[in-house]
Amino acid sequence: MAPSSTSTSPPSVVVVLILLLSAVPARLASIPVSDGLEQLGGGEGLHREILRDETVLRLKELGKISDGEGFLERTFLSPASFRATDVIISWMKDAGLATWVDQMGNIHGRFEPSNSTEKALLIGSHMDTVIDAGMYDGALGIICAISALKVLRVTGKLQRLTRPVEVIAFSDEEGVRFQTTFLGSAAVAGILPESILQVSDKSGTTVQEALRLNSFEATAAALGQVKYSPESVGSYVEVHLEQGPVLEALRYPLGVVKGIAGQTRLKVHSSSLLFFFR
């Protein structure tokens, strides 16, 4: 995910992205679960049953929650997106997090230390997909974050955190349905224009109507409530598989991103009339 393609200065909500190696999907898919971490140099105390086995199972489970038959498609506010919401919430609760869904359909799972005045660490990724998506895109960042916090819970370390930690599964990054990317994260960053509510999908349903059909308020005020103040957020981290061949070709297991790309979608009308005559 990324905050926006607009020229608005980026919010402090989005600070750091971590790209996870593009080879990870291939490894997870091809290496038997029993020896995957050994090959990666794993040892005792790694909580493989959570960080490896359960994480892989959950990736496969979420990858099957689709609006399409035989392929993965889960767009903003689709029936499958709500089935996925229920599953993700159950995993967040299992990790010891307090959960809620905000007015843009983003799912939040938060651990709040008592009396903490520290800024939160946000971790997350997008839960929507492109059409015929890979099962790791977006899901990896959500499930890895939940698994990491679950390990902290079962080892008793979650309760000792002094900083709030929150996993967010963003409702829309890909923009497949409304051709407007980052609806979910832009709302959290507070840079989503009110006019977005009147944008229509292919069937003529507006964002506002789609939200209301699913019992969201869909008002400018409700959108405003989704925003996190920059003062409340210390940092944002996202694990994402590489969307290109570079790390894999270099055989690098991991890359840390220092900059991010935005997406802009344009409708272009072409004409055969020479530019001179226009």
Residue position matching structure tokens 């679950």: 150
Rounded to the nearest angstrom, the gap between the alpha carbon of residue 1 and the centroid of all alpha carbons in its chain is: 6
* Nearer CB in complex with Zn ion: 12/129: 129
Candidates 31-39, 108-116, 138-146, 255-263; binding stretch for Zn ion (CB under 5 A): 138-146
Q: Which distant-in-sequence residues (6+ apart) come within 8 Å of 208 by Cβ?
A: 197, 198, 218
CB of 58 to Zn ion, least distance (A): 17
Candidates 76-84, 133-141, 215-223, 254-262; binding stretch for Zn ion (CB under 5 A): 133-141
* Nearer CB in complex with Zn ion: 137/166: 137
Torsion of the alpha carbons at 199, 205, 207 and 211, rounded to the nearest 10: 170
* 54 is a site residue for Zn ion (CB under 5 A): no
* Nearer CB in complex with Zn ion: 50/133: 133
Candidates 48-56, 135-143, 197-205, 269-277; binding stretch for Zn ion (CB under 5 A): 135-143
> For residue 237, with 0-12 CB atoms within 10 Å meaning exposed, 13-18 middle and 19 or more buried, which class applies?
middle
Q: Do residues 62 and 84 lie in contact, with contact meaning Cβ atoms separated by under 8 Å? A: yes
Q: How many residues bind Zn ion (CB under 5 A)?
A: 2
Candidates 21-29, 113-121, 131-139, 268-276; binding stretch for Zn ion (CB under 5 A): 131-139
* Nearer CB in complex with Zn ion: 3/138: 138
Candidates 73-81, 137-145, 184-192, 262-270; binding stretch for Zn ion (CB under 5 A): 137-145
C-alpha 133/C-alpha 241 separation (Å) is 13
The correct pick among 3, 109, 138, 164 for binding Zn ion (CB under 5 A) is: 138
Closest C-alpha among 4, 13, 2 to residue 226: 13
- In the stretch 80-119, what mask flags binding to Zn ion with x, by CB under 5 A? ----------------------------------------
* Nearer CB in complex with Zn ion: 137/242: 137
C-alpha 133/C-alpha 139 separation (Å) is 11
CB of 141 to Zn ion, least distance (A): 8
Q: Which pair of tokens denotes residue 73?
A: 């498609």
Q: Do residues 214 and 177 lie in contact, with contact meaning Cβ atoms separated by under 8 Å? A: no
Q: Which pair of tokens denotes residue 140?
A: 């990896």
C-alpha 197/C-alpha 39 separation (Å) is 49
C-alpha 77/C-alpha 163 separation (Å) is 32
Q: Do residues 262 and 185 lie in contact, with contact meaning Cβ atoms separated by under 8 Å? A: no
* Nearer CB in complex with Zn ion: 11/138: 138
Candidates 41-49, 130-138, 225-233, 251-259; binding stretch for Zn ion (CB under 5 A): 130-138
The correct pick among 102, 128, 137, 201 for binding Zn ion (CB under 5 A) is: 137
* Nearer CB in complex with Zn ion: 144/218: 144
Q: Do residues 212 and 206 lie in contact, with contact meaning Cβ atoms separated by under 8 Å? A: no
Give the nearest residue (CB) to Zn ion.
137
* Nearer CB in complex with Zn ion: 138/164: 138
| Residues binding Zn ion (CB under 5 A) | 137-138
